[in-house]
Amino acid sequence: MHFIIALIMGGIIGWLAGMIMREAGGILWNVLVGCVGSVVGRFLLGTFSGQGHLTENPFDPRTLLVALAGAIILLAIYNLAKRGTTR
């Protein structure tokens, strides 16, 4: 059940990040960006703040914000590598 929730939340987070960065993508792209962005966000949070873990509740606002920030960072890096600009 956690896997299905992670995919759904990853899709929503990826879609929101795509809207913010004006990056068009399909459903699979949104899920990928959201899930990987969540991992990136958790890594950065743990590295820079010393808080390596967040709550396990996928609907916790801090968890969602960290996942969104990670997805935006991931899209910015992708855009930089692809186009030479972050938009």
Report d(CA 37, CA 7) in Å as an integer.
12
Which residue has better confidence, 59 or 6? 6
- Could you give the angle at the alpha carbon of 22 between the alpha carbons of 16 and 26, nearest 5°? 65
Whether residue 79 has pLDDT greater than 60: yes
Which residue has better confidence, 86 or 20? 20
pLDDT at 53: 54
Q: Which residues contact 4 (CB under 8 A, 6 or more apart)?
A: none
Per-residue pLDDT reduced to its tens digit, 46-78: 666 555 555 566 666 777 888 888 888 888 888
Secondary structure (DSSP) of 26-71: -HHHHHHHHHHHHHHHHHHHHHHHS-----S-TT-HHHHHHHHHHH
pLDDT at 51: 55
pLDDT at 21: 83
